[in-house]
Chains A and B, each alone.
Chain A
Amino acid sequence: MALEIIELCTNCWACEPLCPSKAIYEAKPHFMIDPDKCNECSGDFEDSQCASICPIEGAILNADGEAMNPPGSLTNIPLQKLAA
């Protein structure tokens, strides 16, 4: 059970200090999550902290490879406008 940061990440640093497991680290070209350390915040917080502050839709995936914040979920931008 671990989350993953993918190339949509803009390296804004918001998640890094919040991780209770110190699983997030600065890397090139973008931040990474150490899958051995990440427990999705279970036992520490109700919600995964990185996915709760990340401003970029689709940048963090769950263990099934699905976006924690799917398109439109954070910005309220209608999907057809996002696609355009």
Chain B
Amino acid sequence: MHVAVAPACNIQCNYCNRKYDCANESRPGVVSELHHPVQAVKKVLAVAATIPQMTVLGIAGPGDPLANPERTFETFRMLSEQAPDIKLCVSTNGLSLPEQVEQLSQYNIDHVTITINCVDPDVGAQIYPWIFWKNKRIKGREAAEILIAQQQKGLEMLVAKGILVKVNSVMIPGVNDKHLEEVSKIVKAKGAFLHNVMPLISEAEHGTFYGLTGQRGPTNEELQALQDACEGDMNMMRHCRQCRADAVGLLGEDRGSEFTMDKVEKMEINYPEAMKMRAEVHAAINEELESKRLAKESKVQVINIQGIKPKVKTRPALIAVATKGGGVINEHFGHAGEFLIYEASSEGVRFIGHRKTTPYCEGDISCGDGESVLDKTLKVLAGCEAVLCSKVGYEPWGPLEAAGIQPNGEHAMEPIEDAVLKVYEEMRVAGKLEAKVDEQQKVA
């Protein structure tokens, strides 16, 4: 979860508009309630006692946490004392990071996230209109130069202190999309452990520079291609859902409305008691993960021993999956608000990312909007050759097939990776994985 204790910012980004605050919006930089550190701690304890799976508390805004050092560190100090079982993390634009590293290292910090969109000031000048630096507002290339130097210095200092650093980058087509491969190489060389490339969000109604000047965000395919290009050098994060600076809950499922300040004030929380219960829940989760891991290992061994599958080199294919979580295929096509995308190949299955859509059956009981919503989902699934769901209705079946995406409801409740492999194998047997190999070789 995130708590919104840090309202001030010391830079302007072209994808951000500080005037915006709407509870229906889910994106970084947006919050509904700003909290003082004492309130924030109360809220964290309430959430941690109610949702024991919650393990990490982040401060991510709505401004820059390190431009609000008193509020950010006051929150961390109280949490370190009252809830030592919660890990802390913080995100920053990096401008004041070097001067805060020493203080950051005093707390139970799990990781620091720095948003690094460029290492070239000429690129930076197209992303950052100004920074506030040494009592002056500085604009243009000079501003970008200072910001970049501070980010890189902060990254080096954190790594030297042994603090984990994740790097976030916003992919802005035509501005930094080509450049981010270089960014990825540099931050990896300096010791960042994870790189999260996120798509630009630039709806005109958000009132940002990019939104109002028609700068587009990347397509799913463009984003995935860049993530793949960076992956050779760097551990890439694929599960980011670009949540709000006050998000609460599990990925893609915000439970913030259960924990508004007026509700939290009424809750009686005995945290030492809650901490015991949390420890039990965490132990059970670890046990389950461990047994899943062992089961997977033994299955791999069985396949190796049997050696039933001759290793045939087949081309990779993208397969979309509808799931509510738990690692199994358990979501109806029409109810899915997002699809997880897997790449299957003769090497195995890997998770590529998630793509959002509007659920086909949402809204109007008569499904009046169904057609246009289906068009959107077809676009979102572009490039995928199959979509696995617990069920697929009759209406979308035809259009999916026509778009080259095979609907498949035969693997309900099966573990995702097993089902993806089975479907890939069926495609191989049906000869669907050969035709395009020639095409690819021709291109190569």
Contact = CB atoms under 8 A, between A and B. Distances in A.
A27 to B, nearest CB: 15
A13 B213 contact: no
Interface residues of A, number: 23
Chain A at the B interface: SS class: loop
Interface in B38-84: 63, 67-68, 70
A62 B14 CA distance: 26
Contacts of B209: 75-77
Interface string B208-249: 010011000000000000000000000000000000000000
B10 A14 contact: yes
Interface in A7-41: 10-14, 17-18
Contact of B7 (A13, A49, A74, A81): A13
Chain B at the A interface: SS class: loop
Contact of B68 (A13, A49, A77): A13
A56 B63 CA distance: 13
Contacts of A84: 212
B132 interface: yes
Interface in A60-84: 74-78, 81-82, 84
B136 interface: yes
Contact of A56 (B7, B19, B34): B19
Given A53-B137, A78-B213, A14 B67 contact: yes
A12 B10 CA distance: 11
A81 B10 contact: no
A14 B136 contact: no
Contacts of B18: 10, 12, 55-56
Nearest to B67: A14
Contact of B63 (A14, A74, A75, A76): A14
A12 B7 contact: yes
Interface string A38-59: 0000000111010011011000
Contact of A52 (B8, B63, B135, B213): B135
Given A47-B135, A56-B18, A14 B130 contact: no
Contacts of A14: 7-10, 63, 67, 132
Interface of A: 10-14, 17-18, 45-47, 49, 52-53, 55-56, 74-78, 81-82, 84
Given A45-B135, A55-B9, 16 more contacts: A10-B19, A11-B7, A11-B34, A12-B63, A13-B63, A14-B8, A14-B10, A14-B67, A52-B136, A56-B19, A74-B130, A75-B12, A75-B129, A77-B213, A78-B212, A81-B213
11 contacts: A12-B8, A14-B9, A14-B63, A18-B135, A47-B136, A52-B132, A75-B14, A76-B129, A77-B209, A78-B213, A82-B212
